[in-house]
Amino acid sequence: MNFKRSSVIFLMMILFLNVCNIIFGISGWLYLIPGVFLFTMTGIGSFRIGMSFYFTVICKFKSPQNIVITFDDGPHETTTPKVLEVLKKHEVKATFFCIGSKAEQHPELVKRIYNEGHIIANHSYCHKEMYGFFSTKKIIADLSQCNAVLNKIIGKNPRFFRPPFGVTNPNMKRALKKYPLIPIGWSLRTLDTVKKNPEEIIDRLRKTKPGDIILFHDRVENIEKVLDEYLLFCKQQSLVISPLDEMIKLPSYD
């Protein structure tokens, strides 16, 4: 279900009620039903990135044994280096969706991520809680500012973008048409920013299936320990962790 289909169903419901009203006469209160339906669907669609409600978001891919690991909200001065050490230990490549303002503060970390063979991607410049209410113009300016910061550090413009908090809306759709980036979501969240018990996070990660895009946060304390255990689990399950660009067959940079 996406916005277009929801709108068609909404209009069909209105048409059906109009016909019923002409033939039988019905209560005006019944017209609230289509409105509640559309309001509910747009609310759910905005917060569930996997629905691709307003525009197509890559949240999964087809593969018999490969998965992709991604990190949001970095770079972080203390936890990101620990994550990088674990990835190096297991010879795994990941994608880091960086916040532009943090990249400005820690350019050496962004450069290290890139130099160690990981993908650098756009996760907005400001990552504010009200990002979902930004105008199209403000989103474009924010995306451009983030890419400008990252380009200054690594000399390339990232093409992959993950919306802050996974929230999508019509303004973002219009922004991505004018400032074209490739939206990337996820199919399995670690909930590492919510769950404090590492075992609970590992239990969630045991649900991993081929084709999954996994969401971690490299700003979470002790996430490197969870990551280390998870990568061992992947080896035991014969899951191959591959770069995002190779799996979705799209270039990481302009």
Percent of the chain that is helix, strand, coil (3-state, to 5)? 50, 15, 35
With the C-alpha atoms ordered 156, 145, 44, 19, is the resulting torsion angle positive or negative?
A: negative
Q: How far apart are CA 62 and CA 196, in angstroms?
A: 32
Residues annotated catalytic, as ranges: 72, 217
CA distance 137 to 239: 41
Rounded CA-CA distance 235/227 in Å is 12
Residue 79 and residue 219 in contact, taking contact as beta carbons nearer than 8 Å: yes
**CA dihedral sign of residues 55, 127, 154, 95:** negative
Omega before 75 cis (within 30°)? yes
Tokens of 147: 């890419």
